[in-house]
């Protein structure tokens, strides 16, 4: 299978383009770009920088991928953008490459849907199988786990972490960490509960889900902060042996910006 490049597209001779890639009208592909098989690049897409794109990704019109970071410390270093396989990037999605402040890589996993006007800032570490609705912005150094769903118009501040399986309502301003399988919304963000539907979809059994819900409610009712709560062994003894709770506790313990407050 051959590569299909529209006559109006500008593709550097140094770019690496695999088989069965299509590149639409007026798109621009830079010299340090590698695009693997079965990708579809729509009209007027700009892919630049040291960027690696895995197989079977779709980029709709006007996406900007691998652009320089919006950070005054960036001095043109050959930092990177790495994108996995099977993602869909709708119109006007923008992803900026990393900076030397972090590991120099903005990384996107596999099989996620990024709706129109989503922005991923420099050094973002993004998981797999996520859905991000329109006009959501991720500032630099944000970390997002797998199977996260984020409603449209949400804004995520720098250095925030969103745990896997979290569900975020639309128009949410996130300036604190969201633990795994939690639901949250609001400006500023507050924790609303646990994502029971998300756990069911991932095959978590009912007894374990019930324990997670009990843990969340106990922590919410406590006068202690989440960090202080999980450090008390007497609070944790009842929930020993639950892998989801153990992961949630580990997330809370390493939070650098703090956990979002309860609703």
- Per-residue pLDDT band at 235 (split at 50, 70, 90): confident
Residues 189, 183: Cα–Cα separation, whole Å: 10
Catalytic one of 127, 140, 165, 198: 140
Condensed to tens digits (0 to 9), the pLDDT of residues 208-220 reads 999 999 999 999 9
* Residue 20 CB neighbour total at 10 angstroms: 16
Annotation says 123 is catalytic? yes
Q: Please give the angle made by the CA atoms of 157, 162 and 167, to the nearest 5 degrees.
A: 110
What pLDDT does 1 receive?
A: 62
Catalytic one of 122, 127, 145, 198: 122
What Å distances lie between residue 105 and 4, 137, 256, CA to CA?
A: 29, 18, 20
Residues 138, 157: Cα–Cα separation, whole Å: 7
Average of per-residue pLDDT across 174-202: 98
What is the pTM (predicted TM-score) of this model? 0.97
Annotation says 119 is catalytic? no
């830079």: which residue's tokens?
30
Residues 184, 215: Cα–Cα separation, whole Å: 17
Annotation says 46 is catalytic? no
């406590």: which residue's tokens?
222
Tell me which residue of 149, 112, 105, 151 sits closest to 128, measured CA to CA.
Answer: 112
Residues 184, 174: Cα–Cα separation, whole Å: 9
Average of per-residue pLDDT across 84-105: 98
3-state secondary structure of 224: coil
Condensed to tens digits (0 to 9), the pLDDT of residues 72-84 reads 999 999 999 999 9
Widest distance between CA atoms in the chain:
69
């Amino acid at each position: 299978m051959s590569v299909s490049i529209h006559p109006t597209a500008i593709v550097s001779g140094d770019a690496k383009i695999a088989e069965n890639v299509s590149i639409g009208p007026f798109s621009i592909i830079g010299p340090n770009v590698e695009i693997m098989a079965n990708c579809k690049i729509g009209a007027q897409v700009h892919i630049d920088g040291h960027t690696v794109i895995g197989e079977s990704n779709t980029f709709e019109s006007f996406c900007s991928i691998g652009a320089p970071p919006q950070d005054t410390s960036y001095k043109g270093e050959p930092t990177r953008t790495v994108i996995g396989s099977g993602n869909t990037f709708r119109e006007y999605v923008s992803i900026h490459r990393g900076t030397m402040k972090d590991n120099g890589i903005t990384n996107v996993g596999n099989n996620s849907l990024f709706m129109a006007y989503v922005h991923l800032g420099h050094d973002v570490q993004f998981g797999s199988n996520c859905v991000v609705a329109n006009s959501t912005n991720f500032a630099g150094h944000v970390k997002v786990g797998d199977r996260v769903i984020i409603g449209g118009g949400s804004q995520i501040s720098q250095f925030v972490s969103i745990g896997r399986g979290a569900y975020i309502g639309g128009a949410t301003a996130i300036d604190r960490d969201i633990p795994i399988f939690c639901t949250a919304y609001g400006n500023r963000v507050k924790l609303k509960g646990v994502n029971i539907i998300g756990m069911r979809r991932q095959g978590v059994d009912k007894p374990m889900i019930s324990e997670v819900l009990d843990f969340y409610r106990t922590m919410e009712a406590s006068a202690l902060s989440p960090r202080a709560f999980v450090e008390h062994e007497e609070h944790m003894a009842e929930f020993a042996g639950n892998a989801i709770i153990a992961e949630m506790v580990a997330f809370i313990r390493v939070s650098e910006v703090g956990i979002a407050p309860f609703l």
